[in-house]
Amino acid sequence: MPALTKKFTLTDLRAARASGMKVPMLTCYDFTFARLMHRVGVPTILVGDSAGNVVLGHENTLPVPLHFMIQLTAAVRRGAPNALLVADMPFGSYHGSVGRAVRNVFRMVQLSACDCVKMEAAQTQLAAIRELSDAGVAIMAHLGLRPQAVGVLGGYRAQGRTAEEAMRIIDLAVAMQEAGAASILLEAVPAEVSAAVVEATSVPVIGCGAGPACHGHVVVTHDILGLTEHPPKFAPPMGDAATPLTDTFVRYIDQIGSGAYPTAEHGYGMPTSEKVKLAEILRKHPLPAPAEAK
């Protein structure tokens, strides 16, 4: 795919829903990966709180702070200026009151330059989504498996596998759209549920292990690159980045140990006249003997 030469917007995402074009989305957490994604034309990027797992090494996403997500999102924005950039609101940053949610979402948008904000949404977020939407903020409502609710769910489990659970998700998706959500993300739900949500709503629906009916699909980039130990079943293996990276680290270790690195070609030279001056200075003013380590 060619690099993004013009901005991919929410209008383009809506047009994709209307045309049937499927939109790829990847997670990203830094400038370097963002620049690579931009070069090959990844149109939509999610700065997910999954950074808590793949960047910070936590078992879940709950410890991730808002200021950290803002910094990551701003870095990705610099690397991928034309992508539709979705920023994840971390645990605790939009709970407790509408005012708290609005203040923190405004802070995210103003400081990171994201295009859209994702919130793991329950009924209690409807009022905040309504107010934020009225203020002009594009909200992606995350339904189905909500990793920030891992304590209540008792683990990362697929959702909507009974008719009753499925109807709760479908009804909530409709409520989110009515509150002003610009798009919906469905994670780890059966294909029948996502198909019903697509039919019941008119906004773009992004799937994360949610079946083929969705208008776009997102996975954690580290999962498809073979950089995580236990990727979810819906993340297709697209490459093995771990092996060449590991081999590179091993070669570096070996070159340092053998003395093959560094050599003169890796260093910076000093003019001959300056070498003479330095030698004369050191001759007249010998360096003190180093103190013995205690």
187 belongs to the catalytic site: yes
User: Taking the CA of residue 166 as centre, how many other CA atoms within 13 Å lie in the half-sphere pointing to its CB?
Assistant: 14
Please report which residue ranges of the chain form alpha helices under DSSP H: 10-19, 31-40, 51-54, 66-79, 98-112, 126-134, 150-153, 163-179, 191-200, 221-224, 242-258, 272-284
Which of 187, 192, 229, 265 is catalytic? The answer is 187
Distances (CA, A) of 130 to 84, 139, 173: 22, 9, 14
CA-angle at 292, arms to 290 and 293, nearest 5°: 115
Reported as type and span, the H/E element at residue 88 is strand 84-88
Q: What is the dihedral of CA 63, 67, 68, 70, to 10 degrees?
A: 130
Q: Which residues are catalytic?
A: 187
